[in-house]
Amino acid sequence: MAIDLAEVLARTSTSITLRVIPSDQLTPATLSNPQAISQLALNAKKMAGLESFEERNDRRAEPRYQIDADLPGEIVERIPQLVDRTLRLRRVVLYESDMLEEIGITGGDLIGQTKPFALVKIEKVPKNLAAANPLAKERVTIYLGCWFTSNPKTYDLGRDIRVVQDCDVAYTSRVTV
């Protein structure tokens, strides 16, 4: 079932689709070819039952102090540390698969993941905005080197009858086409 996007300026969650690509399909030649990436993304398995998606790029900036200054303990500068890139996916567990089974890991245990995968986020733009503004175009973001880092499944009979799975994913880099 296709969903028509609302004709608004704000991005809507219905405009975003997530797909999974095994990392061995993403060769350097493929990554340098936007049309090949788009074709792979369209043919990739859609992440069904997804409820929410959160992307984080965190970097701490450590303070450096000068002890023997006129004002000892004053922060002199901030030194940026390494960037930690993570995703959090919230998915309703389907009868046919949970989050790990969706990408081919059986048994529901993180130890079953022996190679990374890639997540593809496709953001569509409403037709009226795409026609009126050439800068508003479909955006494809590929998260490479993805590894699951947590895999809890929760349910609370008092609040919600669904079984929900939150998964944290660490990734190495991302490519936007």
Span 38-61, average pLDDT: 84
Higher pLDDT, 149 or 107: 149
pLDDT at 40: 81
What the block records as the tokens of 167 is 């998964």
Domain count, the chain: 1
Q: Is the pLDDT of residue 41 over 50?
A: yes
Q: Which structural domain, as residue segments, surrounds residue 122? A: 13-58+75-176
Q: Is the pLDDT of residue 56 over 90?
A: yes
Average pLDDT of the chain? Answer: 80
pLDDT at 132: 62
Residue 1 is assigned to a structural domain of this protein: no
What the block records as the tokens of 126 is 């409403």
Quick one: CA torsion of 135, 12, 41, 35, rounded to 10 degrees? -10
Residue 83 is assigned to a structural domain of this protein: yes
Nearest-angstrom CA–CA distance, 85 and 175: 13
What the block records as the tokens of 57 is 């790029």
Residue 118 is assigned to a structural domain of this protein: yes
Quick one: CA torsion of 12, 17, 18, 21, rounded to 10 degrees? -150
Nearest-angstrom CA–CA distance, 57 and 174: 11
DSSP type of residue 105: -
User: For the domain that residue 148 is a member of, what is the CATH number?
Assistant: 2.30.110
For residue 54, the Cα-to-chain-centroid distance in whole angstroms is 7
pLDDT at 1: 45
Nearest-angstrom CA–CA distance, 167 and 51: 12
Span 158-165, average pLDDT: 76
Amino acid type, 167? C
CB 165 within 8 A of CB 93: yes
Span 40-49, average pLDDT: 78
Residue 157 is assigned to a structural domain of this protein: yes
Q: Which of 165, 16, 1, 19 is nearest to 97 (CA)?
A: 165
pLDDT-derived band at 154, boundaries 50, 70, 90? confident
Amino acid type, 63? P
Residue 63 is assigned to a structural domain of this protein: no
Q: Which residue has the tokens 């984080």?
A: 56
Q: Is the pLDDT of residue 4 over 70?
A: no
Span 59-68, average pLDDT: 89
Residue 22 is assigned to a structural domain of this protein: yes
Task: State pLDDT tens for residues 107-143.
Answer: 778 888 888 888 888 887 766 665 566 666 778 888 9
Q: Is the pLDDT of residue 39 over 70?
A: yes
Residue 89 is assigned to a structural domain of this protein: yes
Residue 53 is assigned to a structural domain of this protein: yes
Span 35-48, average pLDDT: 78
